[in-house]
Amino acid sequence: MAHVNLSHFLVVAGLLFVLGLFTVLTRRNAVAVLMGVELVLNAANINLVAFNHYVVGGFGGQTFTLFVIVLAAAEAAVGLAIVLSIFHTFKTIDVRAADLMRE
Amino acid sequence: MIRPDNVLVWATFSPLVGAGLILVLTALRYALKLPKSFMDQSARWVTLAASALMLVASVLAWHWFDPGAAGLTVAGKSTGVQMVSRAVWIRPFNVEWFVGVDGLSISMVLLTGIISFVAAIASMPWWQGGKRAAELAGMDEHGHDDPHHPKHFSVRMVPAYMVLLLLLMTGMMGTFVALDMFLFYVFWEVMLLPMYFLIGVWGGPRREYAAIKFFLYTLAGSVLMLLAIIAIYYRSLPATLADGTLSARHTFNLLELAAQGRAGQFVGAASILGFAFTKIVFVALFIGFAIKVPMFPFHTWLPDAHVEAPTPISVILAGILLKMGPYGMLRFNFPILPDATEWAANAIAVFGVINIVYGAYVCLAQRDFKKLIAYSSVSHMGFTLLGMAALTPVAISGAVLNLFTHGIISPALFLLVGVLYDRAHHRDLERFGGLAQALPEYSGLTGLAFFASLGLPGLAGFIAEFMVLSGSFPVYLTYTAISATAVIITAAYYLWAMQRIFLGKLNPAYHDFPDVNWRERFVLYPLSAIMIFLGFYPQFILTAINPTLQQLIQNIRA
Amino acid sequence: MEHALNELGPIAVHKVSYLWLIPLFPAVGAFINSLFGLRIQRVAGKRAVHVLAIGTMTLSFLVAVRAFLEMYSLAPDERFLQQTLWNMVSAGRLSFDLGFALDPLSMMMVLIITFIGTLIHVFSTGYMAEEPSYWRFFAYLNLFVFAMLLLVMGDNFAVMFFGWEGVGLASYLLISFWYTDIEKAKAGMKAFVVNRFGDFGFILGLFLLFWSLGGVWAQRADLRSLGYTPEIGDRAVPEARNPFLAVGPKTAEAHEREVKIGPTLNFRELRDQVVIESTGVAEHLKHQVVWGFALMAVVGILLFVGAMGKSAQLPLYVWLPDAMAGPTPVSALIHAATMVTAGVYMVARLSYLYALSPTAMGWVAAIGVLTAFFAATIGFFQYDIKKVLAYSTVSQLGFMFVGVGVGAFWAGTYHLLTHAFFKACLFLGSGSVILGCHHEQDMRKMGGLKKHMPVTAFTYLVACWAIAGFPWASGFYSKDEILWKAFTARDLAFLGHSAPWLGPAIFVLGILAATGTSFYMFRSYYMTFTGSYRGGEGHAEEHDEDPHAAHAAPHHVTAAHPHDNVDPDAAQGHGAHGATSHGAHAADAHGHVVHGKDDHGHVHHGGAPHESPLSITAVLVVLAAGAILTGLLGIPAAWTGHEPLLERWLSPALPAEVHFAEFPHSTEFLFQGLGVGAAIVGWFFARLLFKDGRSPVPAQLKKRFFGAWTVVYNKYYVDEAYQALVVRPSLFLARFLFWFDQHVVDWLVNFVGWLGRFVANIDGAIDKYVVDGAVNAVAGLTGEAGRAMRRIETGRITTYLYGLTLGSLLVVLFNFLFR
């Protein structure tokens, strides 16, 4: 009963993913959107590690996770730089303002 | 170097090489940022050198041509075709690079060499007589934008002009030496485009109209010709190619086609649109060539083209392009379709007579000097048509001799018109008068050319006319008698023109016109000398052309 | 006719190598002077120019004399010198060489041309001394002599035609020598064009003859082959060359004896095959028909049309009077002594052909006598001394044609010879007078010149004596021989019908013309040389009298101030003078001043007339002597009992034999008396009316018959008729055809062009609205769809993510639903 198996990890990851997605979809603040993206990435990380442990074995999942973490860091840096640039341009970090490429 | 077996290649392609050289030089000019004057001068010298090489090659070809030689043997019969250069070009269609000359084409090759060189010299802006003379001609480089006194053609866009001129020369020479129908057609069309631009860009006030008229008219003829060529091709039998293999099914070889035509290959061919094959093909080819002659009623492009074209282009037009019509007839219609020739002879003679008399009368009504000369060409080419139609040895030799002599005389006349136009900037006969006082040397040269053209014995024009008339006389008694009235009208319009230009009181506005300069002398004196020489020794040309033509009409009869 | 011909064989040919020198020398002179004359004249003076010209003429004359001596040493039947330079044309049946031949006839012509030509060159040095274009004049004169020598020396029709047209050219150039006067230029053009009418006939006749020799009016197809045999060839030998068989025995072995049968342009070959009966050519020719007429009649008449042009016969004579616009030596050489006689020469050269057709001969003789009479009547009333001589020349040429037309070929040729001397003398005399009177040509302003110019007056009188036909001058012998032969001729035919009456009729008209000749020649003599000098009086009188004078005789208006037109440099400054046709004094004065070196020293028009320099008078004397002495060549057989020298000399060259009626010598004497009587009557009336200019009768007669006088004075309005009937219609036709060309033929071309463009426009419209419309519709639809879809693209990441999520959910849903 207290035995933690794959399903638990998946549920946690699923919740994290949905929360992340919800944040990305609903928030207008660009920084919040970035935070949502982090949640989504971490959901994926949990999945990778869980599947590696219960299904595949070895270290592939962990390695990927490490990659993703590094990537997420880079992504956050770039994303924040963009946000900064948007703020410089539009004096706001509302993502709805940055729709110039629409036309 | 130049050998009998490659002399025709030299003659044909030396101008093309010159044109390529000019293009290279143009690229060089932009790369090295050389001045415009360098480009102009180098283009001129390349043109002169290339056309001189062409002249040398054609004179050598004439020199090496042996009228008595048996030449190439086709279908077991000697054709007299010499200096052959031959290779397979497009094997799937049996198209060959096949050039060579017989008595008919060698005279035209010589003429092309001479007249091309003359035209090249006439395109040079060398001009003595100081500032006044250069100004009169519009040759000072700094130019006139005044439409009434435009810049002389010889200083406008020189490299382009020279390239087109050289291209034109290659086209002309190629047309006369090609012995493959396809090759002939290619050269024929190569000629057309440069001519269009040379008239349309460097011409007179109505140049666009004249150029497009010339182009469309000639192109219409070419289309008919092309159809006829294709029709003949698909009715022909196979023949041996240059490398000894037998062509698949058909042939473009003109000599083979002549042999097949002689053997009746085309007589039995299926009719087209209910007309006999030979007749309809004959007519299509004939119209194509008749436009070039130009034969009434297809002649109206000629006065316009002549009047608008710059002098050297008029020279080439009158000297060579008109000759391609009769040449084509004698190369295609007569040998390949002998029975249709017999059938059409009478009609050709009638058109010849119309050309002669009609052209002469229209000349009498002219006020424009250049138009007068243009219509006189119409009249003189009529003699060739009449002579060809008569199909007697005398008449047909006279007809071809007429091509040569007219090819010498009418360029001289156009050069003379150019001389006057460069000074006066109009050609209205009524506005001259008394110029013999201001321009004695010019008057003498013009008088000589006029008398040569009106058929004064002792000058080139007479013998040809005499031979045509005497040869046609027993065949077309009445036609010839009517044509002979042209000797009166011709004398009248030339002498009247002479009177209006040179005689009487001098218009004071023209008293300081400079007389003929060295550039003009350099072309006019040789042409005049040829006129006198041929006047007393026409056999010089006749020796070469007689055997070929006599064989030709014998085949028609046989 | 037939018995004698059997005796004739082919001509024996003597090849010589120097004949070409005779025409060469003048050709060289003409070449050098025309190309470098101006420079020579500037550097070395006029003397160098005329030394060259006269030098070449003299050399030519000397070679001609050499040829004469060689010919004289041969037996009469072998007098035929020949030289071939090169073959000019051979093609098919036509072949001719640049070859020269001299037989007695052309020998005579060559001697006349070179001798009188040299004299006239000498004369010109005096007459043209003041001419700035001196070099041009001599170049043209030499060119003329060259062409004339080709004409008479050519051994075939082609070379003869070279000369025939060449003299036309030289004549054109010399008539319009003073080209700044447009009237003179027009006169030159008229001469050339009218001559071309003649050439048209000539060339047709030539072709007709040429091809009929082959018997050609057969199958057309036969003509085209090279080796076709002439119809008559069957009787000879099929090949062109035919070893001649049936000739008399003499000299058969000495020379190659072949007669070429078939078309030829060569005179000797033509003569051989026509004259030698056994070839059958003559018979053959006689029976040929063309255009429904006898062939030989048509040939003869057409060839004679050429002669009509060159020798100024009715109706083509109109150019000759106008040709007097040229300098006087030209009128003497070309328009009197040599060129205009070319027609006579041609008929004589072809005597054997004309002998085949009585119709052609009758035609020649009839035209000749009509011209003689007609021109004589015009001569009565002319005032311009050169015009009188011009009409006289026309008239005398008529006499020559009567001679050759009735079959007295030698007599016509003899008249040619005598006429060359006395008419050259008359013309040069008139030139001397014109020079002496300061370029005055109107006889009404002369008079009394005998005491000023004794030599000129005397030589003129001698020449008048000769032309009028007074005994012991040359004209008497030649003219009386012609008229006598005309009277006795019986073989003539008129349009195909035998006409024995034609000969006597010709005689009657001829004797009237002879009377007229005597009258107008002495009239000109008396008006010019007797009475008192009338120079310097105004022109007013004559212009009041004849309204048409200025129009019909343009030259005597312009001739009053010829200096106006002499100097190219001066001419420009003279525009004003040209306009005032009566400004003779001013113009003349100006002219002299411009010349500067007027060695006569006359500045005013009214200066006394003076005798001409030695170069002129010496020539006059020589010619006058010739006018008498040539009579020795033609003393009639009735006087001496043997045939005249010239007839004997010419007989080998004139093989035709024509029959004349036989009359006793007494009849011939009677007719000679009639001839002398005619001369005396003409002289008597001329003396009565015009001696010393005192008689009032001419003026009264003129008043009385003013209408008729006007008609004759204006030359029967023939020029005007030509203008209306030939020139205007031709010009009209020319303009019409040009209009036709521009507005019909070219319109058609442009119409086709327009049609092409019209069709192209329709095609373009279809393309634009139908074909391209469909393509554009598809494109438009796509565009519209795109525009509609664009709403979805908000550019906001959230929207897309909503879409993504929704899409993913849908995929999952579908996955479950449609497993």
For residue A74, pLDDT beyond 60: yes
How many Å apart are CA C193 and CA C643, to the nearest integer? 42
Nearest CA in chain C to A33: C798
3-state helix, strand, coil in chain C (%, to 5): 70, 5, 25
Residue among C801, C806, C809 with most chain A CBs within 10 A, to mutate: C801
Residues of A in contact with C796 (CB under 8 A): 95-96, 99
> Out of C162, C199, C211, whose CB is closest to B474?
C211
B54-86 pLDDT, tens digit each: 999 999 999 999 888 888 888 788 888 989 988
How many Å apart are CA B516 and CA C451, to the nearest integer? 52
Q: E-assigned strands of B199-251? A: none
How many Å apart are CA C678 and CA C687, to the nearest integer? 14
Positive or negative, the Cα torsion across B363, B368, B369, B375? negative
How many Å apart are CA B67 and CA B83, to the nearest integer? 12
How many Å apart are CA B299 and CA C741, to the nearest integer? 9
Residue C338 φ then ψ, to 5°? -120, -70
| Positions of chain B with pLDDT under 70 | 126-150, 247, 557-558
Residues in contact with B317: Cβ distance below 8 Å, sequence separation at least 6, in sequence order:
B195, B302, B305, B306, B309
At B294, list the tokens: 């130009």
Q: Judge whether C751 is closer than 8 Å to chain A, CB to CB.
A: no
Residues of A in contact with C797 (CB under 8 A): 24, 33, 95
Residues in contact with A3: Cβ distance below 8 Å, sequence separation at least 6, in sequence order:
none
- Spatial contact of B484 and C202, defined as CB atoms under 8 Å apart: no
pLDDT at B126: 66
- Beta-bridged to residue B368, according to DSSP, are B428
How many Å apart are CA C252 and CA C250, to the nearest integer? 5
How many Å apart are CA B288 and CA B338, to the nearest integer? 18
Chains touching chain B at 3 or more Cβ pairs under 8 angstroms? C
For chain C, give the number of residues.
Answer: 819
DSSP states of C220-277: HHHHHSTTPPPGGGGTS-SSSEEE--S--STTTTTS--EEE-S---BHHHHHHHHHSG
Positive or negative, the Cα torsion across C541, C542, C545, C550? negative
Q: Judge whether C225 is closer than 8 Å to chain A, CB to CB.
A: no
How many Å apart are CA C64 and CA C81, to the nearest integer? 12
Cβ–Cβ gap A24/C798 under 8 Å: yes
- Spatial contact of B228 and B524, defined as CB atoms under 8 Å apart: no
Q: How far is CA B12 from the centre of its chain?
A: 15
Closest by CA position to B544, among listed B64, B67, B69, B61: B67
> Out of B358, B434, B466, whose CB is closest to C180?
B434
Residues of C in contact with B495 (CB under 8 A): 172, 188-189, 192-193
How many Å apart are CA B415 and CA B313, to the nearest integer? 10
Q: How far apart are the first and last CA of chain A?
A: 57
Q: Judge whether C801 is closer than 8 Å to chain A, CB to CB.
A: yes
| Rg (alpha carbons) of chain B, rounded to whole number | 23
The DSSP 8-state label assigned to residue B79 in this structure reads -
- Spatial contact of C434 and C385, defined as CB atoms under 8 Å apart: yes
CA distance C226 to chain B (A): 7
- Spatial contact of C689 and C524, defined as CB atoms under 8 Å apart: no
Q: How far is CA C657 from the centre of its chain?
A: 29
pLDDT at A93: 83
Mapped onto helix, strand or coil, the DSSP state of residue C87 is: strand
pLDDT at C478: 87
pTM as predicted: 0.82
pLDDT at B349: 92
Helix pair C46-72, C21-44: axis angle to 10 deg: 170
Residue A94 φ then ψ, to 5°? -75, 120
Cβ–Cβ gap B550/C745 under 8 Å: no
Residues of C in contact with B213 (CB under 8 A): 749, 753
- What value does the mean pLDDT take over residues A46-75? 90
Chains touching chain A at 3 or more Cβ pairs under 8 angstroms? C
pLDDT at B382: 93
How many Å apart are CA C180 and CA C325, to the nearest integer? 12
Cβ–Cβ gap B496/C161 under 8 Å: no
Positive or negative, the Cα torsion across B18, B22, B27, B31? positive
| Rg (alpha carbons) of chain C, rounded to whole number | 37
How many Å apart are CA B277 and CA C476, to the nearest integer? 76
Contacts 24+ apart (CB under 8 A), B42-45: B43/B158, B43/B159, B43/B161, B43/B162, B43/B163, B44/B123, B44/B124, B44/B158, B44/B162
> Out of C794, C801, C805, whose CB is closest to A99?
C794
Q: Residue C39: enclosing H or E segment and its boundaries?
A: helix C21-44
| Positions of chain C with pLDDT under 50 | 1-6, 216-256, 538-605
> Out of B392, B498, B504, whose CB is closest to C180?
B504
Cβ–Cβ gap B474/C745 under 8 Å: no
> Out of B498, B506, B557, whose CB is closest to C224?
B557
Cβ–Cβ gap B554/C179 under 8 Å: no
pLDDT at B527: 94
Q: Judge whether C794 is closer than 8 Å to chain A, CB to CB.
A: yes
Nearest CA in chain C to B508: C572
How many Å apart are CA B395 and CA B387, to the nearest integer? 5
How many Å apart are CA B348 and CA B352, to the nearest integer? 6
The domains located in chain A, with CATH, are: 6-102 (1.10.287.3510)
How many Å apart are CA B46 and CA C694, to the nearest integer? 84
pLDDT at B127: 63
Q: C-contacting residues of B 345-404, CB under 8 Å?
A: 358, 361-366, 391-394, 397-398
Q: Tokens 């070959």 belong to which residue?
A: C269
Instruction: Count CB-CB contacts under 10 A for residue A8.
Output: 11
ipTM, two decimals, is 0.90
- Spatial contact of C663 and C488, defined as CB atoms under 8 Å apart: yes
Cα→Cα distances B434→B355, B510, C98, C571, C697, Å: 32, 9, 37, 10, 46
C766-791 pLDDT, tens digit each: 888 888 888 888 888 998 888 888 77
Q: How far is CA C779 from the centre of its chain?
A: 83
Instruction: Count CB-CB contacts under 10 A for residue C213.
Output: 25
Q: Given its phi and psi angles, is residue C202 left (phi above 0), alpha (psi -120 to 50 degrees) or beta?
A: alpha
At C258, list the tokens: 């072949």
The DSSP 8-state label assigned to residue C277 in this structure reads G
- Spatial contact of C490 and C503, defined as CB atoms under 8 Å apart: yes
DSSP states of C673-695: HHHHHHHHHHHHHHHHHHGGG--
How many Å apart are CA B390 and CA B472, to the nearest integer? 5
Q: Judge whether A95 is closer than 8 Å to chain C, CB to CB.
A: yes
Cβ–Cβ gap C795/A25 under 8 Å: no
Cβ–Cβ gap C802/A25 under 8 Å: yes
Residues of C in contact with A101 (CB under 8 A): 795
Cβ–Cβ gap C164/B538 under 8 Å: no
At B64, list the tokens: 């090496």
How many Å apart are CA B553 and CA B390, to the nearest integer? 10
Mapped onto helix, strand or coil, the DSSP state of residue B141 is: coil
Antiparallel, parallel or unpaired: β C14-15 and C81-91: parallel
- Spatial contact of B418 and B407, defined as CB atoms under 8 Å apart: no
The DSSP 8-state label assigned to residue C493 in this structure reads E
pLDDT at C471: 82
Q: Tokens 């009264």 belong to which residue?
A: C700
